[in-house]
RNA sequence: GUCAGGGUGGCAGAGUGGUCAAACGCACGAGUCUGUAAAACUCGCGCCCGAAAGGGCUACGGGGGUUCGAAUCCCUCCCCUGGCA
């Protein structure tokens, strides 16, 4: 694996595509890596197709980094909630895809499939602590998360041997436990005992008051050994990423920039040029909603502090037009812009290190 | 000219005596979005007062009438669409 300059943000290409874009678009935004999803890709296109391409990278023609998520988030979003609830036992998670089609995901299967994806970084299957879990419920998810983490690690080592890999992927344990700091601590300690390349801040990182839970974020960063990478799963808003990098985090992934773009919310820096961006100022960016009436006659670019495909070539008025007529290229241009916003953010963070110890 | 069918909120289109400020949809406006069941979802959408519950006013082409009560029934005028002259 090539050397990574941390911190990094990997946008979510869950199904081996960053929605509304293609791999050359992503490359153009200076995005170093992406996240793909084990569960979704094992359903579609499935392992046989992935094998034919010798991994997801060739499948989607992407030569940057790839982290694969285990399906742990889907334990929450599809098995614990949603219209077709699944079932969770110590053995694994059963997802009901249609009324007569189900799939069992186990920690071992998740890891095995991630090897077939040939990703650079892998995440263990975890039992997502629901946002409103009480202490006992949270404790159970921690116990299962640790149990699964151990089995994942064993399967990981087995795969490395079987596949005779000299360049091993990185493996991340995921810390669960909800808002209970003592559970989080126990979970992190047990994961460290098992031994990983890094720890992930899992579960739902937003408190009930809508604020990002920095207490948990800090706890994990503080417990992790010096040589560990720290990964904020599903994190987050730009200011949350800045905050976590200050705590020592290295890796992030999130759907926000891409989803927000498709929903007509762009991020723009409060700056007149790229060098004047100050990510340490409290409100260093704002939202820009292209379709608002006031933008239709605006011939300026969306942002002066951006060098993306959209900002270099098209005006606010043109983008407003594309959104209004629901032209699909609006989604592409907006997505490209938001991805570039995030990659600029990470470039700024890398050039003004806070306490990044990982080389 | 005549026969038939119509004229409903920004558009489209239900409603055909009270439960109608008027369905559904579109458009428009506001908001949400954090390891993607998401190019999605929520809310608002005549005017005025109220934090809200709620209240007042105006409105279903124009005018007039019947009725306790009309977008809905009757008369009349105007306009549109189609068949026949």
Mean pLDDT of all residues belonging to chain A: 95
Out of A238, A254, A270, pick the residue that ends a domain.
Answer: A254
Predicted local distance difference test score (pLDDT) of residue A354: 53
ipTM of this complex prediction, to 2 decimal places = 0.93
Q: Which CA-bearing residue is nearest the C1' of B38?
A: A259
Predicted local distance difference test score (pLDDT) of residue A353: 55
- Distance (Å) from CA A76 to C1' B65? 67
pLDDT tens by residue, A89-128: 999 999 998 878 899 999 999 999 999 999 999 999 999 9
CATH of the domain at A181: 3.20.20.105
Active site residues of A: 69, 253
First to last CA, chain A: 14
Q: Which nucleotide is nearest to A296 (CA to C1')?
A: B28
Predicted local distance difference test score (pLDDT) of residue A208: 86
- Distance (Å) from CA A327 to C1' B6? 37
Assess whether A109 and A250 both reside in one domain. yes
Predicted local distance difference test score (pLDDT) of residue A169: 97
Is residue A13 pLDDT above 50, yes or no?
yes
Is residue A27 pLDDT above 90, yes or no?
yes
| Residue A14 located in a structural domain | yes
Assess whether A195 and A85 both reside in one domain. yes
Domain holding A246, by residue range, is 8-254
A89 near A79, Cβ under 8 Å? Answer: no
| Residue A335 located in a structural domain | yes
Out of A254, A288, A322, pick the residue that ends a domain.
Answer: A254
pLDDT tens by residue, A292-334: 989 999 999 999 999 999 999 999 999 999 999 999 999 999 9
Is residue A22 pLDDT above 70, yes or no?
yes
State the angle between helix axes of A238-247 and A328-351 in degrees (0 to 180), rounded to the nearest 10: 30
Q: How many folded domains does chain A comprise?
A: 2
| Residue A147 located in a structural domain | yes
Assess whether A153 and A249 both reside in one domain. yes
A153 near A171, Cβ under 8 Å? Answer: yes
Instruction: Render the burial of A163-199: b for 16+ CB within 10 Å, e for the rest.
Output: eeeeeebbbbbbbbbbbbeebbbbbbebbbebebbbb
At A359, is the pLDDT very low, low, confident or very high (cuts 50, 70, 90)? Answer: very low
Is residue A290 pLDDT above 70, yes or no?
yes
- Distance (Å) from CA A320 to C1' B49? 37
Is residue A356 pLDDT above 60, yes or no?
no
Assess whether A202 and A221 both reside in one domain. yes
pTM over 0.80: yes
pLDDT tens by residue, A209-265: 889 999 999 999 999 999 999 999 999 999 999 999 999 999 999 999 999 999 999
Q: Which nucleotide is nearest to A35 (CA to C1')?
A: B35
- Distance (Å) from CA A208 to C1' B53? 29
- Distance (Å) from CA A191 to C1' B64? 87
Q: Which nucleotides of B are covered by protein (CB under 7 A)?
A: 27-41
Q: Which CA-bearing residue is nearest the C1' of B39?
A: A262
DSSP result, A28-93: HTT--EEEEEHHHHHHTT-HHHHHHTTSHHHHTT--SEEEEE-SHHHIIIIIISSSS--EE-SS-E
Q: Which nucleotide is nearest to A76 (CA to C1')?
A: B35
Residue A254 has phi, psi (to 5 degrees) of -170, 150
Assess whether A166 and A302 both reside in one domain. no
Assess whether A187 and A46 both reside in one domain. yes
pLDDT tens by residue, A119-156: 999 999 999 999 999 999 999 999 999 999 999 999 99
Q: Which nucleotide is nearest to A241 (CA to C1')?
A: B34
């Amino acid at each position: 694996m090539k050397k990574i300059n941390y911190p990094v943000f990997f946008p979510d290409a869950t199904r081996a595509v960053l929605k509304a874009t293609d791999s050359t678009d992503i490359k153009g935004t200076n995005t170093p890596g992406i996240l793909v999803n084990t569960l979704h890709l094992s359903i579609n296109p499935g392992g046989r197709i992935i094998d034919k391409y010798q991994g997801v990278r060739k499948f989607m023609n992407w030569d940057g980094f790839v982290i694969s998520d285990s399906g742990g988030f889907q334990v929450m979003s599809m098995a614990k909630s949603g219209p077709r609830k699944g079932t969770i036992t110590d053995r694994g998670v059963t997802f009901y895809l249609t009324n007569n089609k189900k799939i069992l995901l186990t920690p071992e299967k998740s890891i095995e499939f991630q090897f077939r994806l040939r990703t650079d970084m892998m995440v263990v299957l975890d039992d997502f602590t629901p946002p409103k879990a009480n202490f006992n419920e949270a404790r159970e998810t921690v116990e299962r998360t640790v149990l699964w983490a151990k089995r994942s690690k064993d399967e990981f080592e087995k795969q490395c041997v079987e596949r005779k890999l000299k360049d091993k992927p990185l493996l991340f344990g995921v810390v669960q436990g909800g808002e209970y700091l003592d559970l989080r601590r126990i979970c992190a300690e047990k994961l460290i005992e098992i031994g990983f390349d890094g720890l992930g801040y899992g579960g739902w990182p937003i408190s009930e008051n809508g604020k990002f839970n920095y207490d948990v974020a800090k706890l994990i960063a503080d417990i992790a050994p010096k040589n560990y990478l720290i990964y904020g799963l599903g994190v987050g808003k730009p200011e949350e990423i800045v905050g976590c990098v200050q705590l020592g985090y290295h890796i992030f992934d999130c759907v926000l920039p891409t989803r927000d773009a498709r929903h007509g919310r762009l991020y723009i820096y409060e700056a007149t040029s790229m060098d004047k961006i100050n990510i340490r100022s409290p409100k260093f960016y704002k939202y820009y909603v292209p379709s608002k009436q006031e933008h239709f006659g605006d011939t300026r670019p969306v942002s002066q502090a951006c060098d993306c495909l959209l900002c270099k070539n098209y005006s606010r008025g043109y983008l407003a037009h594309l959104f209004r007529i629901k032209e699909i290229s609006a989604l592409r241009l907006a997505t490209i812009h938001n991805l570039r916003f995030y990659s600029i953010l990470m470039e700024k963070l890398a050039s003004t290190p806070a306490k990044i110890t990982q080389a």
